[in-house]
Structure 1
Amino acid sequence: MNIAYWIAAGPLALFYCYAGTLKATRSRDQLRPMMAWVDRIPLSALRALGTAEILGATGLVLPPLTGIAPSLASAAAIGFVLLQTGAIAMHLTDDDRRIALNAGLIATAAVTVWLATGL
């Protein structure tokens, strides 16, 4: 089960570390081609979202690696399920039906939650 956890959590952590770094460091103009919704939220909220994604990615990796508070990995994965649920809601309220990536991230995070309970 440990190998399965890393197969699910590793790419998820890499994705959120990358996406969070973009949101925390890039300007709206640089993000707009990738994320059309960036104009709908304040810049401070965008930066906070990026920071939360980086911290969540860290929460998926560090607790299982160190053995310190491994339940934090489940909490981080649950946070990503909730984050993507909100992202889907935001897309749908904007009449944007491109939610396949969000649905895939929810599925991967849900599997990660399940696998993290066995750590």
Structure 2
Amino acid sequence: MIAKAASYSLFGAAITKSGVEAEFTCEGPITVFAPNDDAFADFCKAQGLSKVEIMTYDGLKDVVLNHVAKGAFTAANMPAEVTMVSGKTVATSTFNYKKNDIKVDNATIHAITAVVA
């Protein structure tokens, strides 16, 4: 679903390029904090890389895995902190949410406006 959404194409491409599709297509439930293309463009700029170059960035796999957590977290039951599949713990209050609780077969997706590095 993420790869098909026009404003999340960079995140979708990063999932594919980093080889971690299985983390996003697993049985679930999972929660995905999906950064939009503007967020990825800002991240690229901060790293001094183009949108093409970011796809070969050494830390891309970890960056992508910083956006998926095991378990189903909705806006109503969002914990103060979530440990991502990467092992990074993130305070959910730091996210700027564009949209919450997008339901797909195996996941709850929250659209956010920043990349978790």
Superposition TM-score tier, normalisation by shorter sequence: under 0.3
Task: Give the TM-score of the pair, scaled to structure 2.
Answer: 0.26
Task: Give the TM-score of the pair, scaled to structure 1.
Answer: 0.26
Give the structure with the higher percent helix: 1
Give the structure with the higher percent strand: 2
* Structure of larger gyration radius: 1
